[in-house]
Amino acid sequence: MVYYQDNEILIRDMEPADAQIITDEEIAQGWNADIGKYEMRLRHQAEGKSVSLTAEYQGNVAGYINIYPDSPWGAFANQGLPEIVDFGVLEKYRRKGIGGRLMDTAEKIAGEYADTVYLGVGLHSGYGSAQRMYVKRGYIPDGSGVWFGDKVCRPYSDCRNDDDLALYLYKKL
């Protein structure tokens, strides 16, 4: 299904071939990518657990985003609220409006399920542009504090500043 299209950007359902393309591109840009993550997203989509989207820029796979209508993870787990999970735009396609279009589409889909959407954002500098974008889009912290892995990081406990250290944000749609 196509969710958005203009002269340069196309947003559609993720397809099996996208998994390998995204993985290869992320490895090429120095990321620790694993095709298993994208295969899982495709499986969840086939099972009706998620909506997984791919963005194309001028015909090339450029980004992705996933919406879980009743997410089992994070600050609002199993509360009937959609979560935006695993959002990315390949570095060579950034600053072309792709991320904004993916977020617009994800929020529109989330709005079909609830009036609130949430997401977790990493806290290390690699997530800096995402952190800024979410604030500009009206997302605010949920108030539960920092999460490490799948639970709240208790005050003064040890954690690592890696991809598992996150802050949950939400937005009224």
At 108 the pLDDT is 98
pLDDT of residue 1: 96
User: Among candidates 111, 95, 39, which has minimal Cα distance to 63?
Assistant: 95
Q: Which fold has domain 2-122?
A: Aminopeptidase (3.40.630)
What pLDDT is recorded for position 32? 86
Residue type, 91: E
The ranges assigned to domains in the chain are 2-122
User: What pLDDT was estimated at residue 120?
Assistant: 97
Nearest-angstrom CA–CA distance, 83 and 10: 22
Q: How many CB atoms lie within 10 A of CB 72?
A: 10
Q: What is the pLDDT of residue 166?
A: 96
Q: What does the pLDDT profile of the chain (173 residues) look like in tens digits?
A: 999 999 999 999 999 999 999 999 999 999 889 999 999 999 999 999 999 999 999 999 999 999 999 999 999 999 999 999 999 999 999 999 999 999 999 999 999 999 999 999 999 998 998 999 999 999 999 999 999 988 999 999 999 999 899 999 999 99
Instruction: Report pLDDT for 25.
Output: 97
pLDDT number for residue 7: 97
What is the residue whose two structure tokens read 């199993």? 78
Residue 63 CA from chain centroid, whole number: 10
Please say whether the beta carbons of 89 and 55 come within 8 A. yes
